[in-house]
Amino acid sequence: MILKNALSFSHYLLQQKVQPGNAVIDATIGNGHDTLFLAQLIGQKGHLIGCDIQEAAVEATRKRLADANISLASLTLSANGHEQITQLVDPQLYAKLTAAIFNLGYLPGGDKTITTTTDSTLSAVKQLLKMMPSGGLVVLTVYYGHHQGKLEKEALHTFTNALPQADYAVLNYQFTNQKNDPPMIIAIEIK
């Protein structure tokens, strides 16, 4: 099948944008899969900033990077919510920020009552759109098979559909004939 699932498509988008030495953000590090993928794309001289509200996610990500023998010159992993992204990114890195990724919902294998929220996600996305340079890419993988996820999905659609076409390109990618609320991608590229 040539159509990619949400995870594969999000990684495909990141591969098109991220180069060695870039600065990138994993705004919901979870179990560290996207963090590892980004670390491999940026190489030793890149800058990676990752955050998650759960300390267990930070520790799992540190372990995943260590197990893969990933050593970055600049790595910041923080047990903070993504709505605090401005405090986590050195302003000197703004011009190097090429991509950010979110996996919205709850930590796989974790407490399903701890989820990303509409307010925190919208705040983080708005901050990123202000700090990232032209050409920057924000990829949101939206898991909405739970109540908070449905609210988040609707709010993100409302927000991203209203972004000015002259300043942003917005893509929605989703399988529409699958059961059980298949995850979707919202990608925002800054013009």
Summarize the confidence of residues 159-165 as an average pLDDT. 98
Indicate the pairing of strand 23-26 with strand 47-51.
parallel
Amino acid 73: pLDDT: 79
Are 156 and 122 in contact, with CB atoms under 8 Å apart?
yes
**How many angstroms separate the CA atoms of 29 and 78, rounded?**
9
Phi-psi label, residue 31: left if phi above 0, alpha if psi -120 to 50, beta otherwise: alpha
Summarize the confidence of residues 155-167 as an average pLDDT. 98
Amino acid 110: pLDDT: 81
Q: What is the pTM of this model?
A: 0.96
**How many angstroms separate the CA atoms of 50 and 89, rounded?**
10
Domains of the chain and CATH, by start: 6-190 (3.40.50.150)
Q: To 10 degrees, the CA torsion angle through 20, 188, 89, 46?
A: 0
Amino acid 108: pLDDT: 80
DSSP string, 82-117: GGGHHHHS-GGGGGGEEEEEEEESB-TTS-TT-B--
pLDDT at 140 > cutoff 90:
yes
